[in-house]
Structure 1
Amino acid sequence: MSVHARLRATVPALMPSSQAGPPEITGLPGRRMLVQRSDDEIVTQALDDAFVARAEASVRFPAPWPRSRGTWEVAPDASLAVFAGVHAVRAVEPSGATRWEVRHGCWYGACREMHESYDEYADRQDHRYPESGSVGFSADGRLVWAHVRGPLPEGELSPDTADEWLVIDAENGRVLARADAEAAAAGSVHLPHPTDPRQMGLSIGEGQDGAPLRWGRWDGKELAVDCLDGDLCLLGLSPSGDRLMTVSHDQDSLAVRDSRGDVVEALDWNAEAALPRHPEAPSSTDADADEDEDEDVVELDVCWDWAGGFLDETTLVASTAESDEEWGEGRHWLVDTTATHGFTPIDYGSPASGEPTALGGGAWSTLSQTRDVLHVWGLHGLEG
């Protein structure tokens, strides 16, 4: 038995895929934007509740460095874009003016220089593939949370601090608080609490070394950081912000947790135990026979993708496309955390490309194979 997805909207990219990264839909219901980044700029377009472009003109933010040299985020009201680069976090207005900049240590691991500009290392071969941090706006857009490589120009937290987590005033760039992230990142992603601007999730990737997950609370004076147990990738927050969706670093376990990292009501599922094997995969008997005849091991494991999120407070969308591609069409799953229906495969009518991205309000999106169109999906009874 499967559930049938209903196509709610087809959203074309703002720039050709040959010139830019894939388009993204950001923001909460009622404040959604289509956003896309090229080497030269970020372009945003406001969307209405039907995912149709609003009448107002698009907003463009000139980029201070190529998109391969860091990450970025746009304020909820599209008044500011913040770029997390190799040597600095820079806030840029639509005019191209720099509102503020916070310099920090270099994200290229062997470099100990405090660069003053991108031009200092733009053509250096050893800085072509740096590690990176990230930035995230609070729900109200007044704060920027930034994960950076230390130290800041005004000094280190301690000699052993590698990565720092900052809370910054979005208006003037003043660093309001800083804490040791207790990580050595290859990359990271911020996920803001949907209603409380003083809470933020930080999902850190350390490559093969692990995936530390941090939860930050700023009380107006100090930043308190909870280090959640285990190597976990944070994929989404429920509309209330009370629940987190995580997938383990080894991709075996999907769970719903609270902000302390505790599993909620035993909502923790091992992929192989919870899901059926791909219908086109060989049986265990066939796999054992193949292993006897061939030294190559036949991998039949089902594993979760690092993708998905909350459609509403109790419903998730998840996928196993990465492990499914060995055998055929990738599968997406509707997850009912009330245990009424459990895991149900999603039927799109034709093969879906890639992984799902939860948008809230009962909607999720998939990217076309040509990477120039976003398809927005929903289910009857979940749309809001």
Structure 2
Amino acid sequence: MSVSVRPVRARPLDSVPLSGAASLVRGAALEIRRDAPHRALLLHGDDLEVHDLEDLFAGESAPSAVFPMPWPDWGRGGASVSPDGTFAVFSGQRAVRAVDTDGTTLWEHRHTCWGSPLGHPHTGDERQVCNGYEHGSCRVSDDGRFVWAHVLAPGQEYEEVWSVLDARDGRELARLPLDDSSASGSHHLSHPDGVHMGLCIGMGQDGILLYWARWDGERPTLWGLDGTLDRILMDVPPAHGGFLTVEHYGADLRLHALDGTVLAEQDAYTWDYGGGFVDAGTLIAGTGVVHPEEEGVRHWLLDAATLEVRGPVAYPSGAVGGPARPLGDGTWLTYDEEGGTLHRWSAAEG
């Protein structure tokens, strides 16, 4: 099914040459926090460079902080930076490690190795890199107090857990079992209410698991998206409860309440994985990047409450070749991989 709608003109706001920054629109390298600047986390050699997004568009090429990678040969699992920018937390194959800007280890939370096969011997080397591509992920909470980490529990049995660590010393405060998971990888998404944390686990051909948790002051509470193994967590609205998902193969978009209740659905196109909330009232979503059965790459604006399609985005320079990354403030990013340029847009008035 498709709908007939009028195009919405995109207004160019900023652009900056930024080679190798595709991860800002295609991955988790853009860290958006409540009441904090948007940060770009870019890998440069063996370092994680942290940039304030506004500084980048203002022409400041020097990073605000640089964190040496604890495992230079390990590029999966991602990283998260504390709200005050003083430390970064990395998700490795055998540990979650917090480091400061000179590379000093502040703490390390060891866990069973994600590498295969289970129980394989380790040589004791500090590289901590083994065979396999499976990985967890981690995220510093928006208040800087906790680190949420998807890891394998220590022990001889395969047991995936969602651990809540004290951000000061890495001490495990709570451990939530993830009995149904057999992860290929995962990503976290913190809710702008400052209370809830989301976890999306990809299991390859076995589907996807989606969990939410909240810390009530003493312990976390966990719940999952019931009755489905096929929905990817895309984004959360900037100012109210709920979250957005896309079906594993792009069949539809759904807006959910935090308890998982479906509030709206849109199946007019085969949707890509990228997109989310431009602002509290508007979504942006894409077609044609992941699923080429849709003719050409296109971005679409939708009503954030009903998921009604408002129209395709018409860019002044013509087609845009990749996904859109919304910022929640009325703007979104695209990246020109051929030209190595990051662009910021808004919808033109009238």
Question: Structure 2 length as normaliser, TM-score?
Answer: 0.86
The structure 2 residue matched to 1:103, chosen from 106, 110, 121, is 110
Question: Which SS does the other structure have where 1:306 is aligned?
Answer: strand
The structure 1 residue matched to 2:49, chosen from 43, 67, 74, is 43
Shift of 1:51: 4.2
Match of 1:87 in 2: 94
2:39 equivalent to 1:33: yes
Inter-partner Cα distance in structure 1 for 2:82 and 2:259: 27
Q: 1:188-207 alignment to 2 at 5 Å?
A: 188-196=186-194, 198-207=195-204
Shift of 1:307: 1.0
Inter-partner Cα distance in structure 1 for 2:124 and 2:343: 39
Shift of 1:137: 1.7
Shift of 1:120: 6.2
The structure 2 residue matched to 1:177, chosen from 151, 174, 178, is 174
1:102-123 CA distance string (max 9 Å, x none): 010111241325859664654x
Q: 1:121-270 alignment to 2 at 5 Å?
A: 122=129, 127-151=130-154, 162-182=159-179, 183-196=181-194, 198-229=195-226, 230-231=228-229, 232-264=231-263, 267-270=264-267
Report which of the two structures shows the higher radius of gyration computed on alpha carbons: 1
Question: Which SS does the other structure have where 2:48 is aligned?
Answer: strand
Q: 1:42-81 alignment to 2 at 5 Å?
A: 42-48=48-54, 51-52=57-58, 58-65=64-71, 66-81=73-88
Shift of 1:245: 0.6
1:268-289 CA distance string (max 9 Å, x none): 122xxx24xxxxxxxxxxxxxx
Instruction: Return 112-121 or 254-263, whichever deviates more.
Output: 112-121
Match of 1:367 in 2: 335
Inter-partner Cα distance in structure 1 for 2:329 and 2:124: 42
Figure out how many residues of one structure are paired with residues of the other and give that number.
Answer: 335
Aligned partners of 2:93 and 2:128 also within 8 Å: no
Inter-partner Cα distance in structure 1 for 2:170 and 2:310: 45
- Larger proportion of helix: 1
The structure 1 residue matched to 2:278, chosen from 283, 307, 311, is 311
Shift of 1:239: 1.1
Question: Which SS does the other structure have where 1:242 is aligned?
Answer: coil
Aligned partners of 1:30 and 1:49 also within 8 Å: no
Inter-partner Cα distance in structure 2 for 1:334 and 1:314: 10
Inter-partner Cα distance in structure 1 for 2:132 and 2:22: 17
Structure 1's 120 and 46: CA in aligned 2 closer, same or farther, altered over 3 A? Answer: closer
Aligned partners of 2:148 and 2:163 also within 8 Å: yes
Structure 1's 195 and 341: CA in aligned 2 closer, same or farther, altered over 3 A? Answer: closer
Question: Which SS does the other structure have where 1:173 is aligned?
Answer: coil
Flag the structure with more relative contact order, 1 or 2, with Cα contacts below 8 A and sequence separation at least 6. Answer: 2
Match of 1:280 in 2: none
Shift of 1:174: 1.4
1:126-156 CA distance string (max 9 Å, x none): x3432011011212222111001222xxx68
2:12 equivalent to 1:7: yes
Identity of aligned residues (%): 36
1:35-82 CA distance string (max 9 Å, x none): 201340100122339943569862100001134243212223321111
Question: Structure 1 length as normaliser, TM-score?
Answer: 0.79
2:287 equivalent to 1:320: yes
Structure 1's 149 and 362: CA in aligned 2 closer, same or farther, altered over 3 A? Answer: same
Question: Which SS does the other structure have where 2:75 is aligned?
Answer: helix
Where do 5+ consecutive residues of structure 1 fail to align? 276-302
- Which 4+ stretches in 1 moved above 3 angstroms? 20-25, 47-51, 53-57, 113-122, 323-328, 337-341
Letter in 2 for 1:137: V
Structure 1's 381 and 201: CA in aligned 2 closer, same or farther, altered over 3 A? Answer: farther
State the superposition RMSD in angstroms: 2.7
